[in-house]
A and B are shown apart, each in its own frame.
Chain A
Amino acid sequence: MRGFILSRLGQSALVLLVMSFVIYGLIGLMPGDPLDVMLASTPGVTAEGVARLRAIYGLDQPLMLRYFHWLVAALQGDFGYSRTHSVPVLEVLAPALVTTCRLMLISFVLAVTLSFLLGITAALRPGGWLDGVISLGAFAGISVPVFWLALMMILVFAVELHWLPASGADTVGDGSLLDRARHLVMPVATLALASTGGFTRFIRASMIETLRMDHIRTARARGNPPWRVVMVHALRNAMIPVLTVIALSFGSLFSGALLTETMFGQPGMGKLIYDAILANDFNLALSGLLFATLITLLANLAADLAYAWLDPRIKL
């Protein structure tokens, strides 16, 4: 067990390191230059002055060296200042991280629960009308553009029906729990629906295959009640392939979170990264992307461990 966890941790750390370099390089390729912003507010700087500023900020050094300096600082917890927020990057990131994790966690639990219910229901009578309806719904779920789904929700529930607020995390002056929950309904529903379709399809397929196996027939023949056969004997086996799919879905869950946060004005990581890139806030964009990668990797790691725990064939 220890070896398995250690090797997975090492792998994740390696991916994170490689990504930090790739993202660092890419951020440097974005339009503009950290100096542009400074120069714009102080006209009349000579070319010589620009060159001196470059030297002071180390912008004249080669990419590898700049990256190395950044990495050393980052490892000590110094991610620099955010240009647009004028505070250290971590102060902006921390609350956004909480918002995003909450949104992702609630949506994820909802999506998994819903898709297990739907997937198992569909698998009980493959080809039946209920299966048809659920499969069609699942297809719609994987085919719908998430941002458009969000738009349509806003159109129906906020603009037409006035049931729910269209954007923001709370109403100004009303920070009650109920108010915050009302603001979360549409983002959570959108994000959950975005993953439910794919999960349902996998659970259904995996359940159908498992229910055909010999040990299920034996379990039935021994007189186990049908619900026990499905929920205990079949589900455990059917879970294993499903878990790998779910484990690999956190990246797309974060992508979905970026969209829902942007669409519904939720102050999370996704919106932060998007706004930072639009505003050339290099430090914030860089750290935001890295933390997004980090939480995805950690979630993956957790799913990997659950997988190993569930599948007795994997020796720990």
Chain B
Amino acid sequence: MTGIWITRWRRLRGHRAAMLSLIMLGLLIVFVLAAFPIEALTGIDPDEADLLSRFDPPSWAHPLGMDEAGRDVLLRLMIGGQISLLVGVLATIIGGGIGVCLGVMAGYFGGRLDGVLMRFTDGMIALPLLPLLIVLGAVDLTKLGFSAEFSHSGAAGFWRIVVIIALVDWTSIARLVRASALQIRERDYVRAARAAGAGPFDIIRTHILPNIATPIIVSFTLTVGRVILFESVLSFLGFGVVPPTPSWGNMLNNAQELVTSAPWLAVWPGALIFLTVMAVNFLGDGLQHAFDPRSEAGE
């Protein structure tokens, strides 16, 4: 680790809310991973329906009770959390990758390309994303040439939601990267490198990307939170992760009817989404303060 990153880490440690969120996120990861040992030790199958124990209240064997199909709520919350977090991270990496590529190209090359790419980005930002995501989620994969077997598998459901969220949620990163690249392109060291004969891809790799690393990290963090929200909404509406695979969103599928009969089933998954996204957003905010030298002045 170079000096600047050590300084940044120190500054982040001084940000109480961000450190609290880091601990919170750590605990959440432990919580969702605990599913593996618990499943192995108790032998509970999280997907197996047991109609005799529907809506069982909390007990020692099932601390959070049973859901509408007689499945253990706690274990499904843990596994659902793995899915939700994984979708959040993967879709952010893919969407963020798209955003960084488009943003760097627009910002570095400028001119006509910049104009076209940014108009495209603006158009995308203006759209109502949720209805669009629902249509994308409803697309029949067999019509795209995938085999029927794959199209109806759990893996297809998982990757479909990762890809469709990545396809729509790259715009804020693209704009941010473009703005930063635009500034750095005019710096003297970049001009010097260009005069010395460095090609555009060398300059982007050695000068532009390292210098915009911090806003990218902040933006990626905030995107993870937004993606987790998107995933939960889509799975809740029935166009995301498909049961029996649990996700925090689809555990609320029937919550609207359950809210009268078994309200605790409606509370937990949503509370976990809320907590996770809140922690991620606080972390993003803390990172921004830690990385931005201007915030030294304090607020």
Q: Could you list which residues of chain A lie within 8 angstroms of chain B, going by C-beta atoms?
A: 11, 14-15, 18-19, 23, 26-32, 126-127, 139-140, 142-148, 151-152, 154-155, 159, 208, 248, 250-252, 254-255, 258-259, 262-263, 270, 273-274, 277-278, 285, 288-289, 292-293, 296-297, 300
Contact among B144, B237, B285 for A274, CB-based, below 8 A: B237
- Contact (Cβ within 8 A) A142 B131: no
List 30 A–B pairs whose Cβ atoms lie within 8 Å, in order of A's numbering. Answer: A11-B123, A15-B126, A23-B135, A26-B139, A29-B139, A29-B143, A29-B144, A30-B140, A32-B140, A127-B298, A139-B278, A140-B274, A143-B277, A145-B249, A145-B277, A151-B252, A151-B255, A151-B266, A159-B260, A208-B299, A248-B126, A251-B127, A255-B130, A259-B130, A277-B134, A289-B135, A292-B131, A293-B127, A293-B128, A297-B126
Which 10 A/B pairs are nearest by Cβ-Cβ distance? A148-B270, A255-B130, A254-B128, A143-B278, A31-B140, A143-B277, A15-B123, A29-B139, A126-B299, A251-B128
Chain A nearest CB from B189 CB (Å) reads 29
Contact among B128, B285, B298 for A296, CB-based, below 8 A: B128
Q: Sort chain B's interface into a size bin.
A: 35 or more
Chain B nearest CB from A20 CB (Å) reads 12
- Contact (Cβ within 8 A) B130 A30: no
A14 to B123, CA, bound (A): 9
- Contact (Cβ within 8 A) B274 A148: yes
B236 at the interface (CB under 8 A from A): yes
When each residue 272-287 of chain B gets 1 if its CB lies under 8 Å from chain A and 0 otherwise, what string results? 0110011011100100
- Contact (Cβ within 8 A) B274 A292: no
B23 at the interface (CB under 8 A from A): no
Residue of B nearest to A205 (CB): B299
Query: Which residues 110-151 of B sit at the A interface, judged by CB distance below 8 A?
Result: 119, 123, 125-132, 134-136, 138-140, 143-144
- Contact (Cβ within 8 A) A30 B256: no
- Contact (Cβ within 8 A) A139 B273: no
Chain B nearest CB from A107 CB (Å) reads 15
Contact among A14, A252, A285 for B135, CB-based, below 8 A: A285
- Contact (Cβ within 8 A) B281 A145: no
B259 at the interface (CB under 8 A from A): yes
